[in-house]
């Protein structure tokens, strides 16, 4: 059996809340968004959707997708660069926009917010997540990190009101991620034999550490060092 596929399958049986906390929190946020936005007659646009992993939560609404390029399945509805605008999408045409872990990859995030405002119907909502503390990824297309104040300003400048913002974990969740990945960053090449041996030996200790640090994170009331912010903006 392929080693990569084996470990990927094994990771799926472990509690996501403790092994992939940042993914867990984003998905929980989108589940909550679907409870508000998924209804017959509503139109949902997923910005930077890739293969649309959240489609399964929006079964009643009309769910459309956008990305900078077409995917292998050819299922992206609107292909275009939001940095340059999305002229193929009419003004005030969607009730809700979902945008997860995309904003940091926009060269001109203010342009993204202007497009969100243009595309949303009056009273429409933007459900957005983005990083504050996280490693560089999708290199070289990783440009920014955002504080809660920067996000509020981006929304205000575009005519969107921030109605909800919450951190995804505090300093202990961040520390757990750093400690778990430190040997990989310093010594191990991903998908090498040593990498998989490390996972095999330390996966259970990492799980236990993450559980302990998750409890300790309750002590961090400020949570100004967080992995992500989740936001809801309203037009």
Q: Give the pLDDT band of residue 188 (cuts 50, 70, 90).
A: confident
Collapsed DSSP state (helix, strand, coil) of residue 129: strand
**1 CB-near residues (< 8 Å, 6+ apart):** none
The whole-chain average pLDDT of the chain stands at 92
pLDDT band at 113 (very low <50, low <70, confident <90, very high): very high
Q: How confident is the model at residue 8 (pLDDT cuts 50, 70, 90)?
A: low
- By CB atoms closer than 10 A (0-12, 13-18, 19+), residue 17 is middle
Q: What are phi and psi of 202, to 5 degrees?
A: -105, 5
pLDDT of amino acid 109: 98
Residue 121 has pLDDT above 60, yes or no: yes
Extract the tokens encoding 57: 């939560």
Per-residue pLDDT at 34: 98
Strand order in the sheet with 120-131: 78-79, 62-67, 43-47, 94-100, 120-131, 228-234, 161-167
Residue 120's pLDDT band, with cuts at 50, 70 and 90, is very high
Amino acid 190: pLDDT: 76
3-state secondary structure of 230: strand
* Signed CA dihedral, 120, 126, 130, 132: sign only: positive
Question: Which residue ranges make up each domain of the chain?
Answer: 20-170+222-234
Q: State the pTM of this model.
A: 0.91
Residues counted in the chain: 235
pLDDT tens, residue by residue, 212-225? 999 999 999 999 99
What secondary structure letter does DSSP report for 223? -
d(CA 26, CA 168): 8
Token pair 């079964």 is at which residue? 59
**Looking at 10-14, 88-92, 100-104, 128-132, which range is the least confident one?**
10-14
If one compares 199 and 110, the residue with the highest pLDDT of the two is 110
**Parallel, antiparallel or unpaired: strands 62-67 and 94-100:** unpaired
Q: What is the pLDDT of residue 179?
A: 93
Higher pLDDT, 200 or 97: 97
From the list 71, 136, 74, the residue with the least C-alpha distance to 105 is: 136
For residue 228, the cross-strand partners are: 131
Is the pLDDT at 167 greater than 50, yes or no?
A: yes
CATH number of 20-170+222-234: 3.40.50.150
40-89 pLDDT, tens digit per residue, is 999 999 999 989 999 999 999 999 999 999 999 899 999 999 999 999 99
The pLDDT of residue 199: 79
């Amino acid at each position: 059996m392929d080693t990569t596929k084996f470990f990927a399958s094994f990771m799926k049986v472990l509690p996501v809340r403790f092994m992939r906390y940042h993914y867990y929190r984003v998905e929980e946020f989108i589940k909550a968004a679907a409870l508000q936005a998924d209804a017959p007659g509503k139109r949902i646009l997923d910005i930077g959707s890739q293969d649309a992993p959240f489609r399964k939560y929006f079964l009643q609404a009309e769910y459309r997708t956008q990305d900078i390029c077409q995917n292998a399945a050819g299922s992206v509805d609107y292909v275009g660069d939001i940095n340059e605008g999305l002229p193929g999408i009419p003004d005030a045409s969607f009730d809700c926009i979902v945008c997860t872990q995309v904003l940091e990859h926009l060269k001109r995030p203010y342009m993204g917010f202007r497009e969100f405002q243009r595309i949303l119907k009056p009273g429409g909502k933007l459900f957005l997540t983005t990083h504050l503390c996280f490693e560089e990824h999708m290199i070289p297309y990783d440009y920014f990190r955002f504080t809660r104040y920067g996000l509020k300003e981006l929304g205000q400048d575009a005519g969107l009101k921030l109605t909800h913002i919450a951190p995804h974990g505090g300093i202990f969740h961040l520390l757990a991620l750093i400690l778990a990945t430190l040997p990989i960053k310093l010594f191990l090449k991903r998908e090498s034999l040593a990498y998989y041996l490390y996972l095999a030996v330390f996966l259970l200790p990492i799980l236990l550490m993450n559980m302990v640090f998750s409890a300790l994170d309750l002590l961090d009331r400020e949570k100004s060092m967080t992995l992500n912010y989740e936001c809801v903006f309203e037009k």
